[in-house]
Structure 1
Amino acid sequence: MTQAPAPNEPLLPEQEEKLRELTTQSWNLELVISGAALFAVLQLPDLLDEAFDYFRYNLMTQTAGMQGLFPSMAYSMMKAICYVLFVAFLTNFVMRGFWVGLVGLLAVYPTGIHYDRIPFSTKYAQDRMAAKLGTLNAYILRLDRRCNIVFAVAFLFVFILIIIAFSYLLTLLVYSFLRPLIPAQYWQGVKLIAYILLAGYMLIGIVLSLPRVRAHPSGANLYYQFSSLSKLLYFGLYKPFGFILNTFYSHLPYQKIIRTIALMMGILFVVIVFEFTADFSRLDRRSQGLNRRHLHSTRLDSLYINPSAYDNQRGEGQYIDLASIQEDVISNPYIRLYIAYPKALDTLLTRLAPEPVWSDTLPRATKRRLVAEWSNQQINRLIRIGINDSLYLKPDLLFAQRDQPQQRGWQTVLLPTNLKRGKNMLRISIQTDSSVREEEIVAIPFWYIPEK
């Protein structure tokens, strides 16, 4: 077994021979890896959908502003890169398969193409084809190089996806777990300090990148130290990322590097924008941006049928957006109601119902019971349920947790006495303040057709 050389030492003759042997036999590994990667990448979008839905309903504390927009943007970026990865590995798989076919053809006909023997062609056409296409051996070598380049570029996107995923998880950790631990009066100061540090980091990077600064020995040293600090942003992937990227940088002309980067960033930007629009339409089914209709509007709950609001229409494994009843057409004189309790709603309820200070001398079991009873009283006080034009006085909401997917909320069975034959309206609102009007959460239309 040969010992691995040091980073700056030249390869020994036997090591160079081993490397040549590996490179000539890499095509079979490329096919295996590309096939496995294609299968894995196809699973990622569905896994991302499930993970994001879970985060949106159970961990996301804010749905407005950048705190609500950033997760959707990062989620769409990761899905877009998955699709780019799929195209890259599929391209390599098809090109390498074609290359294998040509190698097999060369094994059958070792002399390659004889252009002077091509039938149904003039001497002029044969000469032009020979000049334009060249020999089969040369084409196989060129195709092999392109396959290797596509495969390396595909792994560049793999590293980018991993870096974005870790950055996304780190940001979610800050907003979902560390943010609640920081008092509100200090949060603005923490954000201001973070913005100042980010602006300072970017300003230092711009100054140290100036040619006049890098030309000075001290500036060159500072630039290198700053670049070394930036390695932390790669989450341990700096070396594999750097080897691929620097190999391209050192062999391609400067103008071609710029054009290639611009083209790749442009394609990625278009894919991200398209994916964000598609994901926004999936998350907000009322969005009309992609497919508008002149006399079609989904803005009013009372004039819109939301399949998520009915148990018999909601897809398997789909989250309830706001609230749900058993059917859109009810024949029994009762309504089985479920109200979703996303983490974002908890931000409002924490402000409307601050928890009282419990005595430290209370036994743990007693304190748990008192907290549960107090929580139930508060939610029944804050949530208002109206059927048609009447307020349902005693909804008696109980805490519940659905399975597949797991979703927390409140559930009750209503026995209204004012149901009318035909269309009825169920309205759910929250009393944000006793001095102001209730804020409507959702309105669910349904039809009551009693059994004969």
Structure 2
Amino acid sequence: MENLSPEKSNWIQELSNQSWNLELVVSGAAIFSTSFLPELTDAAIESYFENYQLSNSVVNQVFPLLAYSFAKSSAYLLIITFAVHFILRAFWIAIVGLRAVFPQGINYENIPNTSKSLAETYKKKFGTLDGFIIRLDRFSSQIFSIAFVMVLFSLMLALLYLLIFTGTVGIKTFFPEFYSKAKPIFLVSGGLILVTSLILVLLSTNEKYREHPVIGKLLMQFIDKSTWLYMGMYKPIQYINFTFASNLPRKKYYFTVSFIGLFFFGLALSIYLDKMLTHYGITHLESRNFYSTGTSEHKLTPNFYDNLRPENERIEAVSIQSDVVEGAFLKLYINYSKVFDVDLAKICKEPTLPDTLKKHKQRLLVDKSRLECFSQYFKIALNDSTFDSVELFFEDQGSTKGLRTYLSTEKCKIGRNTLYIKTMNVDSLPKKVWTDYVEVPFWYAKD
């Protein structure tokens, strides 16, 4: 066991007494730095849907959304906790400054319009100013410690998810055959480990099982072998956790842990539902009783139009130049999302090229072949007229990559028109069946 000399103990005590100024600096900096985290998590999930979503399966949508909701909940909790600590510390400084002006503190006998019995009641209820300063100081330090447990825990979850995500995507992308064979084994193994862990954790809450020679040994081995899941945060987290658990009354400790846990998971669930409904274009939390239900036929989507889309907002599906079109051509941009690769892989075959062909020529032929494949996959129609063939070009649009084509407005009628983009249902081949992808209404006016 570690024994500290009296000098070191006194130094630590003195450092603890002066920690408030460091807490204020760190808390202020933390509020500023964590204020960007919610926006960063939004950008991360959008990047996932754009560049890394391998399919529309439940696993590829639900788990990333869960990770996003936990990350954003952590971000909000960090901001709230550091803000509460900063306010409490500022209040503490104000009270300490007030005591410096009035060293005697509260003089209950001199409170105006107060009887002796009421003054005595106040004294029992509020106590001394010095006592309040000490309690507020301790509470502020506890809030600060809780905030850093959340920081470490959030970092642990982020690193763990990043490890699992990159490993899964990497194996599925570069070793698809191995992934398809190993996936059931990994799922079953992971499920067994999770169930076993939950059983051991539940058994550990009962003293009878904790002291059991076999179960106790299994529990110790489980704790020892699972520390890697903390991503290097095990000891820092447990130092703070054990300090709280060993000094707070049991009821207060469990109440605090339960309250934080319920608040965190409640916030995560609300963020998850909000993002999922938003992602699928389902209207929710609308206070107006008779507003749109979200149908594309009767609602304009600003993201579909270059002139209406907010600056720096990515193109989610498709875009044309304006909601009111003039001129001979309709400029259509189709966002190429990663999720299309599953379908495209079933109909697109890379051309076999001779090695003697120059690299530049090879790239030209490969790009031409890929664009022809896209032309087969997408079906574009204007009102009731389908374009037999369209000339596509690759184009980067900010953070998105996609396809550009120019459609003749010759068949447009004055007033409202609708552009239909459909995708091929590759599972129905060789029979060609098309699935509605997006509809873009616009108004045509001649020059």
Indicate the TM-score class for this superposition, using the shorter chain for normalisation: over 0.9
- Summarize deviations over 1:46-74 as a string: whole Å, max 9, x none: 12222222222112222331211211221
> TM-score of the superposition, structure 2-length normalised?
0.92
Give, in angstroms, the shift of residue 306 of structure 1: 1.2
Give, in angstroms, the shift of residue 380 of structure 1: 1.9
2:65 counterpart (72, 93, 113)? 72
Structure 2 unaligned residues grouped into runs of 5+: none
- Summarize deviations over 1:362-401 as a string: whole Å, max 9, x none: 5544432321121122212332211111111231011111
What is the aligned partner in structure 2 of residue 108 from structure 1?
Answer: 101
Contact preservation (8 Å) 1:328, 1:445: yes
> TM-score of the superposition, structure 1-length normalised?
0.91
Structure 1 unaligned residues grouped into runs of 5+: 1-7
Contact preservation (8 Å) 1:302, 1:425: no
Contact preservation (8 Å) 1:326, 1:336: yes
What is the aligned partner in structure 1 of residue 118 from structure 2?
Answer: 125
Q: Is the counterpart of residue 43 in structure 1 residue 36 in structure 2? A: yes
What is the aligned partner in structure 1 of residue 227 from structure 2?
Answer: 231
- Summarize deviations over 1:36-93 as a string: whole Å, max 9, x none: 1111111111122222222221122223312112112211211111111111111111
Contact preservation (8 Å) 2:282, 2:293: no
Most deviating of 127-136 and 358-367? 358-367
Partner AA of 1:396 in structure 2:
E
- Summarize deviations over 1:190-239 as a string: whole Å, max 9, x none: 22211222233234435545355542445433322220111111100111
SS in structure 1 of the partner of residue 316 of structure 2: coil
1:417 counterpart (410, 420, 426)? 410
2:313 counterpart (313, 318, 336)? 318
SS in structure 2 of the partner of residue 445 of structure 1: strand
SS in structure 2 of the partner of residue 399 of structure 1: strand
1:190 counterpart (182, 185, 199)? 182
Contact preservation (8 Å) 2:27, 2:82: yes
Give, in angstroms, the shift of residue 332 of structure 1: 1.5
What is the aligned partner in structure 1 of residue 194 from structure 2?
Answer: 202
Contact preservation (8 Å) 1:392, 1:416: no
Cα RMSD of the aligned pairs, angstroms, is 2.1
Identity of aligned residues (%): 32
What is the aligned partner in structure 2 of residue 138 from structure 1?
Answer: 131
Q: Is the counterpart of residue 287 in structure 1 residue 279 in structure 2? A: no
What is the aligned partner in structure 1 of residue 254 from structure 2?
Answer: 258
Partner AA of 1:243 in structure 2:
Y
Partner AA of 2:7 in structure 1:
E
Kindly report which structure 2 residues correspond to 1:299-318, keeping only aligned pairs within 5 A, or say none. Answer: 299=295, 301-318=296-313
What is the aligned partner in structure 1 of residue 84 from structure 2?
Answer: 91
Partner AA of 1:81 in structure 2:
S
Contact preservation (8 Å) 2:326, 2:444: yes
Question: Structure 1 67/362 Cα, relative in aligned 2: closer, same or farther at 3 Å?
Answer: same
What is the aligned partner in structure 2 of residue 148 from structure 1?
Answer: 141
Q: Distance in 2 between matches of 1:206 and 1:282?
A: 33
Q: Distance in 1 between matches of 2:423 and 2:143?
A: 56
Most deviating of 414-423 and 18-27? 414-423
Question: Structure 1 208/327 Cα, relative in aligned 2: closer, same or farther at 3 Å?
Answer: closer
Partner AA of 1:166 in structure 2:
L
SS in structure 2 of the partner of residue 337 of structure 1: strand
Partner AA of 2:154 in structure 1:
L
SS in structure 1 of the partner of residue 394 of structure 2: strand
Q: Distance in 1 between matches of 2:6 and 2:307?
A: 72
Partner AA of 1:246 in structure 2:
F
Q: Is the counterpart of residue 347 in structure 1 residue 348 in structure 2? A: no
Contact preservation (8 Å) 1:208, 1:214: no
Most deviating of 337-346 and 217-226? 217-226
Partner AA of 1:195 in structure 2:
L
2:266 counterpart (250, 263, 270)? 270
